[in-house]
A and B are shown apart, each in its own frame.
Chain A
Amino acid sequence: MFRLQSSKVLAVEMTGDAVKAKNGSMVAYDGEMAFKKLSGGGEGIRGMVTRRLTGEQMTLMEVKGRGTCWFADRASEINLVGIQGDKLYVESSNLLATDGGLRTGTEFTGLRGASQGNGLFTTTVEGHGQAAIMSDGPAVVLRVSPQYPLTVDPGAYVAHQGNLRQSFQSGVTFRTLLGRAAARPSRCGSRGRTGVRAAERAEHDRGRRVRWPSGRSTRRWSRRR
């Protein structure tokens, strides 16, 4: 059972079940707990190979036991997301914990991720249960409906859920390329658009930009400008 102890600390009550959490994110626990690193993070050999190839490596651990376990990571704000049979798309570095029964996988995202150096792939979480995702600064939930497509800054995007179609919208012009644009080119040149088919929701962080996770894989090409 996931519960927010404060906006930055996640408390999980466990009665013999398991949760998956980001490696090293445990700050305290009482009762009896066992920590085990999940090999590869995905399911089976195939998941492992995919993760290695895509660079979307999630260093996850499995926490199992009885008692309360508290998780936190670099004082990031934590948001609880309920998943009922649908799919949550989140950058692996922003995923703090999921119920043990949820499946995690890797999916191709396209240009949105690449424009922000997040790589071409993202992590998906599916099944029934809860997940805790992190954002730098409080996140807001923005609903997306077929009539009102939503455009978000890829740098402020955290995660999305539901049946959303994404297209990449670029504001790069000749002036931007010359460095004469009003805004910083990297910023205005990377307007992402979260287009929509069915009514669902997208989550995005309106405050500060999502920060660089420090342990970023160097294989992601677009970080080097």
Chain B
Amino acid sequence: MAFREINAKMVEATVTPGQRLFSQRGAMLAYRGEVSFTPNTAGGQGGVMSMIGRRVADEDTPLMTVEGSGTVLFGHGGHHIQVIQLSGDTLYVEADRLLAFEGTLQQGTMFLGSQGGVMGMVRGQVSGQGLFTTTLKGHGAVAVMAHGGVIEIPITPQRPVHVDPQAYVAHHGEVRNKLSTALGWRDMVGRGSGEAFQLELSGSGAVYVQASEEKL
């Protein structure tokens, strides 16, 4: 495990030669040892094409490569940090929520419309995710930021989970998501319960939900 939680808002990462990390630019708080930070113009892994992909998709949060040997403290904006361990599955997360992740993970960009077509695009707009989201795949750890604490809710095929799009942080596993609307006449006349749109996640995996409906 490359990340160790110091407290709710700081993580300590261990870097060893040959094992690099990526982190959001400016998220380093302190470090020990011989560690170098190089701005990563490509905004992550992959070649020029994936860089263009991220630029187009507006998922190009400035990243830096962390290399060397030592320990680094990360934190950003006083947001709560959740460390998620991936073992072969894919994590879907918004790029600006990514604090740091291990170099062993494959970074990619996913078009939300590819999951659910037009409704996928609507869902991206409603949840503030935009039309694209970042995927991380493989074995390794990710540190994700959220406003307020994060709870993990398991998703099993028998029990789909509904999430408020504004409180949604990330999810992993074999999960299908769709936007479910409960729009009734009450919402039309402005007397709704405030829960008209929900993300319905079904399959098997887990969803991370923050204790707030504020964006980062």
Contact = CB atoms under 8 A, between A and B. Distances in A.
Interface of A: 5-9, 23-31, 33-37, 39, 59, 61-62, 67, 70, 72-75
Residue among A30, A33, A59 with the highest chain B CB neighbour number at 10 A: A30
A61 B164 CA distance: 15
Contacts of B163: 27-28
Interface in B161-200: 161-164, 167, 182, 186, 191-195
Which secondary structure dominates where chain B touches chain A? loop
Interface stretch (B27-35, B44-52, B144-152): B144-152
Contact of A27 (B80, B160, B182, B211): B211
Leading 9 A-B pairs by shortest Cβ distance: A75-B148, A24-B194, A8-B211, A27-B167, A72-B211, A61-B193, A35-B193, A75-B212, A35-B195
Contacts of A25: 194
Contacts of A27: 163-164, 167, 209-211, 213
Given A33-B162, A37-B186, 8 more contacts: A8-B212, A23-B194, A27-B164, A27-B211, A30-B153, A61-B194, A72-B148, A72-B213
Nearest to B155: A30
Contacts of B147: 75
Given A35-B182, A72-B167, A24 B149 contact: no
B128 to A, nearest CB: 15
B159 interface: yes
14 contacts: A5-B151, A8-B211, A24-B194, A24-B213, A26-B195, A27-B210, A27-B211, A28-B162, A29-B162, A36-B193, A59-B194, A75-B147, A75-B149, A75-B211
Contacts of B186: 36-37
Contacts, number: 90
B95 to A, nearest CB: 22
Contact of A37 (B80, B160, B193, B211): B193
Contacts of A5: 151
B148 A37 contact: no
Contacts of A35: 182, 193-195
B81 interface: no
A27 B208 CA distance: 11
A67 B158 CA distance: 12
A74 B213 contact: yes
A30 B148 CA distance: 21
Contacts of B151: 5-6, 9, 28, 70
B179 to A, nearest CB: 14
A70 B152 CA distance: 11
Contacts of B182: 34-35
B131 interface: no
A145 B164 CA distance: 43
A139 B164 CA distance: 27
Contacts of A33: 162
Contacts of A34: 182
A74 B214 contact: yes
B207 interface: yes
B163 to A, nearest CB: 4
A28 B207 contact: yes
A31 B156 CA distance: 11
A28 B209 contact: yes
A6 B210 CA distance: 11
Contacts of A31: 159
A73 B213 contact: yes
A27 to B, nearest CB: 4
B195 A39 contact: no
A76 B88 CA distance: 35
Interface in B2-26: none
A39 B191 contact: yes
A73 B161 contact: no
Residue among B149, B162, B192, B195 with the highest chain A CB neighbour number at 10 A: B195
